[in-house]
Amino acid sequence: MRSIFTILLTLTIYTSAKAQLKPGFDIQEYLEMLRISRQQTDSSIKFDETPKPQHYKRAYRSAVGPLVNRWELWADAEHKTAVISIRGTTSEGISWLENFYAAMVPAIGQLQLNDSTKFDYHLAENPKAAVHVGWLLGMADISPTVIQQVNKLYKSQGYKNIIIMGHSQGAAIAYLLRSHWAWLQKQLVIPADITFKTYCSAPPKPGNLYYAYDYNYLTRGGWGIAVTNAADWVPQTPFSIQTLDDFADPNPFGSIDAAVKGQSFFVKLYIKHVYNRLRKPPLRAVKNNRKYLGHMVYKFIKKSLPQFVEPQYADANLYTSCGVPVILMPDDVYRQKFPEDPKNVFTNHMFWPYYYLAEKEYRQPKTP
């Protein structure tokens, strides 16, 4: 007969293993994240059969911020796991303006939110990394209360497993929050022994290629999941513009003079002409993006954030997808269930089509 000590030790090990988050896509975990995220949206949405959460209970709901951002804290007491659920775009105009405020800012810097509040952020190590300024504002709004509630849960109840979940705009903010919190852990603002896992559902592109490199490296091994319905257009946004300056250094595109060295005068003239024809249009496109989706949208954002100081925008627009991709692939049955409707461009973007496809394609059959 085993000793009582051995039995207790075995139970302790089993409980710890059971409570520990694991990397990789877990269909049951993702379906529960969708069930949780769905609770922040209008309950009157038609044709939505997403069930209610089964294992988590809501512990906190934040106030609504100036750009209508909000988040909730859900807790699974049995497994000591909590969920930071970030709300997506609402029907209010200012929430949409946050999406359209799509100029980029450097991934390391400071936002002057008002006369007395500056928000320091550190989202990547690469100096060429840049992110969507509107969603950065959303992240800056919710971050203080998230820190407060997570630290409270950690100290009072010992929660060390945190899932960050967002759908649509909430997914974009989830990316940035995860990146920012890696830096906060190094600064000991939040405990270093908390394990984070991120589910970004229906995610738009949060930053440029160099931000994506950093995020994917940070969450390597399956700790950052991105779930996309192949029929959904939102993950294809914002617009991506690649210029010759976006290549990693050194590269053969930086100096045309070096490339044509030794060529005849007329060959040099022709090559430089072609080079400029290729180089200038994307640079103009990036400039126009800063003008229309940066400076002009800022004027509208300022109505809700009157003391917000316009930041210096990055000369970048190479928006890139992030995370380990999990693809939901529609078939003919799906198309019949969710028919295309020109009057509803969000048919494939809502919770129910994502839930339906994920359950259909990835759920493992129950063992008898």
Whether 7 has a pLDDT exceeding 50, the answer reads no
CATH number of 4-242+313-362: 3.40.50.1820
Query: Strands 104-106 and 71-76, how do they pair?
Result: unpaired
Higher pLDDT pick, 231 / 48:
231
Burial (CB count within 10 angstroms: exposed 0-12, middle 13-18, buried 19+), residue 261:
exposed
pLDDT for position 83: 98
At 269-307, the pLDDT tens digits run: 666 777 777 789 999 999 999 999 999 999 999 999 999
Higher pLDDT pick, 250 / 77:
77
pLDDT for position 12: 39
Nearest to 313 by CA among 208, 204, 179: 208
- Average pLDDT on 100-125 reads 97
Distance CA 357, CA 368 (A): 24
Higher pLDDT pick, 225 / 251:
225
Whether 3 has a pLDDT exceeding 60, the answer reads no
Whether 45 has a pLDDT exceeding 80, the answer reads no
pLDDT for position 139: 98
Q: Are 143 and 151 in contact (CB under 8 A)?
A: no
